Structure 1
Amino acid sequence: MLNLRTSLSGLFSLFLLAQASLAHAELPDFTELVEQASPAVVNISTRQNLPQREVAIQGQMPDLQGLPPQFREFFERSLPQMPRNPGSRQREAQSLGSGFIISDDGYILTNNHVVADADEIIVRLSDRSELQAKLIGADPRTDVALLKVEGKNLPTLKVGKPDELKVGSWVLAIGSPFGFDHSATAGIVSAKGRSLPNENYVPFIQTDVAINPGNSGGPLFNLDGQVIGINSQIYTRSGGFMGVSFAIPIDVAMDVANQLKSGGKVSRGWLGVVIQEVNKDLAESFGLEKPAGALVAQVMEDGPAAKGGLQVGDVILSLNDQPIILSADLPHLVGAMKAGSKADLEVIREGERKRLQMTVGSLPEDGDELAAGESSGVERSSNRLGVAVAELAAEQKKSLDLRGGVVIKEVQDGPAALIGLRPGDVITHLNNQAIDSAKTFTTVVKELPANRSVSMRVLREGRASFITFKLSE
């Protein structure tokens, strides 16, 4: 019996060792990748000349001659020194980041925010040599910058395909966090196609790779040693790494780099619409089976979408047969298109599927803001919503590019107050019906269904969006 127990115990120990060996074998070995890739990763520092801050010293400098030598030396080091020519001196601001070489003749990719407003850019290679870099161009919208140093036969990195990445895949970053050159950190892909606030044109790769100040602009690798992204941002409450990092897909960055190299600027596709997410309530109000697509909240006058027949209230389901699951998918796809190319849209309009074709325009440098105006002719509603509305004057319709609509003059106690409506908001659509007058508005309000999601299109400070609500009776 003892021998049997001993044998079983030995077998169990061997099983645990085998499991441990198997688990160890499944973990990636990054040593060869780091050895091969590191020479093409660079440290970037910048210098910016700033006006010298004048130091105001009231009264005369104290007489230090009577103090003992050790105290006199201490005070001389501690007291601020007045410049010989106040205002003539310059002070330097330095910033540290990372980058990587993409061609053997010296083209380097990094983040725009690493080199923005720099008067001098210094690139330090893995052999500690330093080269002065020239800024070829930068694109703030994607946070990509292209640099050039003078060199031949420089080490380069291979470019991979971010589309082939899978969530859960191992990835590695090399950069200079806090100035520590060629630091390697590893993790996995947490998500793909992430949209961040004010970053409409980049489908970010989210990872849990440790990224800290100084990593910005550095490469993100797959296990094949190919660059699949540029480490760009982190989500943090402390200022340091908290497990959520974002990288710009390398195909997006290379497209930007090629445009900067050839023309000095970046051109993006543009439809001229304002869109919003389709949530569960909006999906119900528009008769959709499930929340999906991009809801058109606003169509720019004379823009590509307006010329192509797209209307407010349309829900865009696909672009050139590529499904729009989240509204953020649309800017990513449109932005990657060239001006003049054709966009084939599948939309839901008043419960029916339609196909529209339009010519993609070029994204303007600066968007025009729509203005609000005054109105007259107040008419109260039936109080089912609890608002008093007024007709829009002709000047207002022209400035807001509207054919109809009403402006809220007063919000009373009721559903309107609960959903956040306020005076000055303009209502253009209610329950999928266009509102062309205060009278129409009152009629539609009276006929609103109870206990069902109802949509309302509202313009506030020139920006349009759809909201939903339910009436209990």
Structure 2
Amino acid sequence: MMDETHTSFPRLLGTALLILLLVGIGAVIGATLWPRVVTVEQRVTAPIRRDIGAQGFAERLPDLVEATCPAIVQVNGLLPTPSVANLPKGHKAKRAMPPPPPITNGFFVSDDGYVLAMAPGAHPQGPISVQMPDGSNAEAELRASDPATGLVLLKVDGKGLTTLDFSDEDFPRIGASGLIPFVAPGQRCAIQTGIVAADYLVDHAHNAGTIRATPALDPVLVGAPLIDSDGDVFGIAMPADGKRGTPYLPGNVAARVVSQMLRSGSPTRALGIVPDDLTPVLARRLATDRQRGAVISWVVPGSAADKAGLHAADIVLAVNGAPISGASELSRTLDGARGTIPLTILRDGQQIAMTLSGPDQ
């Protein structure tokens, strides 16, 4: 009995050592081969994931249409109507035609009847009416307008209306797809899709921080929102400017303007600047690793900022030598500023000293 115990122990020890050796060899082989397996898997599955992602937006379109169309309206009586007398000579055929209707698209931003529309230089051409989502017409009152961006805020009687929210995304990405719900003259809500093809950094726009989407919209669809896959607004169609595609006011800029119009009735324009926070997305687009500062997203033509030579995409780092952390601090600092105002900005990776001329003391 004693001999059997002594004999079996070495065998068990040897077996255990052999198992440990095999496990170690397996671990070494696995560590060597696993990265290759993962790489192959990524190569095989990446196109599949891209296809699924692309299909995801298309598959969501019916739900997005159902969710957003009840918020889309058409505004009549707001845009200036061209005068036939001002048409160029030789346009006799045009003289016999009635002028185009002063219309624009819009959408509800509050469930009690506030409508946001796009109407640069707008002033009422008689009564303003809104074609509601159910096809009925409602009288509207012009509550606020922003000459810089062209946004207008209207009010109709309503309660429990469907509204659209602005996207939380920092800045629209080139290549992003969007749904464009609109109301054409004499029609109910219809849709088109668009793709962000460029932004103001690509277009080298000096004053306006716009994005551009293709295909181009019909001019009567100005004001139509560009909707992301979550059903939020990340752009608002602006009038055509002669370039390819349709320019859109980014949703983050529109959200800031709407907040000011709802709060105070008119946007504040400290020396002609519409600022934005330097978010990680904007920082990457501007090729900077800065984490503090305010990005100029809009410069009002003819303003003090325009005369000083400030451009959209400039990053304001300091005012009077004091660092600027974001858009709100820049607005507070410039609001009410007088006399000569030194600025430190970052443009194309280079720090530049500039001077703003505020109102005299």
Task: Report what 2:254 is aligned to.
Answer: 253
Task: Report what 1:43 is aligned to.
Answer: 74
Task: Report what 1:33 is aligned to.
Answer: 64
1:320 maps to 2:307: no
**Which AA in structure 1 matches 2:62?**
T
TM-score, scaled to structure 2:
0.56
Contact 1:195 1:203 in 2 (8 A): no
**Which AA in structure 2 matches 1:106?**
G
The partner residue of 2:227 within 221, 224, 237 is: 221
**Which AA in structure 2 matches 1:345?**
T
Moved over 6 A (4+): 19-22, 47-50, 195-199, 303-306, 333-337, 352-356
Structure 2 CA distance for partners of 1:212 and 1:340, relative to 1, 3 Å: same
Superposition RMSD on alpha carbons, in Å? 4.6
CA displacement at 1:185 relative to structure 2: 0.9
Task: Report what 1:447 is aligned to.
Answer: none
Q: Which structure exhibits the higher relative contact order, with contacts defined as CA atoms closer than 8 Å and separated by 6 or more residues?
A: 2
**Which AA in structure 1 matches 2:211?**
I
CA displacement at 1:132 relative to structure 2: 0.6
Task: Report what 1:107 is aligned to.
Answer: 114
Task: Report what 1:267 is aligned to.
Answer: 268
Contact 2:181 2:192 in 1 (8 A): yes
Structure 2 CA distance for partners of 1:133 and 1:145, relative to 1, 3 Å: same
Contact 1:114 1:216 in 2 (8 A): no
Q: Deviations over 1:159-211 (max 9, x none)?
A: 113524211111121112455432211121112235989982x3111111441
Aligned partners of 1:130, 1:34: CA distance in 2, in Å? 22
Structure 2 CA distance for partners of 1:338 and 1:154, relative to 1, 3 Å: farther
Task: Report what 2:157 is aligned to.
Answer: 150
Gaps in structure 1 of 5+ consecutive residues? 1-18, 54-90, 237-241, 273-293, 295-299, 322-332, 363-473
Q: Secondary structure at the match of 1:133?
A: strand
Contact 2:120 2:149 in 1 (8 A): no
CA displacement at 1:92 relative to structure 2: 9.8
Task: Report what 1:345 is aligned to.
Answer: 344
Aligned partners of 2:333, 2:248: CA distance in 1, in Å? 21
**Which AA in structure 1 matches 2:192?**
T
Structure 2 CA distance for partners of 1:47 and 1:304, relative to 1, 3 Å: closer
- The structure carrying a bigger helix percent of its residues is 2
Structure 2 CA distance for partners of 1:136 and 1:247, relative to 1, 3 Å: same
Structure 2 CA distance for partners of 1:199 and 1:152, relative to 1, 3 Å: farther
Q: Secondary structure at the match of 1:131?
A: strand
Contact 2:224 2:237 in 1 (8 A): yes
Contact 1:268 1:338 in 2 (8 A): no
**Which AA in structure 2 matches 1:44?**
V
The aligned length equals 250
CA displacement at 1:256 relative to structure 2: 2.4
**Which AA in structure 2 matches 1:219?**
P
Gaps in structure 2 of 5+ consecutive residues? 1-46, 85-97, 274-295, 297-301, 319-328
Aligned partners of 1:102, 1:141: CA distance in 2, in Å? 20
The partner residue of 2:211 within 205, 209, 215 is: 205
Contact 1:95 1:114 in 2 (8 A): no
CA displacement at 1:268 relative to structure 2: 1.5
Aligned partners of 2:352, 2:244: CA distance in 1, in Å? 43
Structure 2 CA distance for partners of 1:117 and 1:199, relative to 1, 3 Å: farther
Q: Deviations over 1:430-456 (max 9, x none)?
A: xxxxxxxxxxxxxxxxxxxxxxxxxxx
Q: Secondary structure at the match of 2:238?
A: strand
Q: Deviations over 1:333-369 (max 9, x none)?
A: 9889852589751579xxx97778x88958xxxxxxx
Contact 1:44 1:98 in 2 (8 A): yes
Q: Secondary structure at the match of 2:267?
A: coil
The partner residue of 1:182 within 179, 182, 189 is: 189
Structure 2 CA distance for partners of 1:360 and 1:184, relative to 1, 3 Å: farther
Contact 2:118 2:238 in 1 (8 A): yes
Structure 2 CA distance for partners of 1:209 and 1:318, relative to 1, 3 Å: same
Structure 2 CA distance for partners of 1:197 and 1:129, relative to 1, 3 Å: farther
Q: Secondary structure at the match of 1:140?
A: coil
**Aligned sequence identity (%):** 24
CA displacement at 1:265 relative to structure 2: 3.0
The partner residue of 2:239 within 233, 241, 262 is: 233
Aligned partners of 1:189, 1:213: CA distance in 2, in Å? 18
Aligned partners of 2:202, 2:230: CA distance in 1, in Å? 26
Q: Secondary structure at the match of 1:174?
A: strand
Contact 2:317 2:346 in 1 (8 A): no
Structure 2 CA distance for partners of 1:209 and 1:116, relative to 1, 3 Å: farther
Contact 1:45 1:96 in 2 (8 A): yes
Aligned partners of 2:172, 2:346: CA distance in 1, in Å? 30
**Which AA in structure 2 matches 1:36?**
A
Question: Map of 1:5-24 to 2, 5 A cutoff?
Answer: 23=51
Deviates more, 1:338-347 or 1:113-122: 338-347
Structure 2 CA distance for partners of 1:354 and 1:95, relative to 1, 3 Å: closer
Contact 1:171 1:209 in 2 (8 A): no
Aligned partners of 1:36, 1:95: CA distance in 2, in Å? 27
- The structure carrying a bigger strand percent of its residues is 1
Task: Report what 1:71 is aligned to.
Answer: none
The partner residue of 1:173 within 154, 173, 180 is: 180
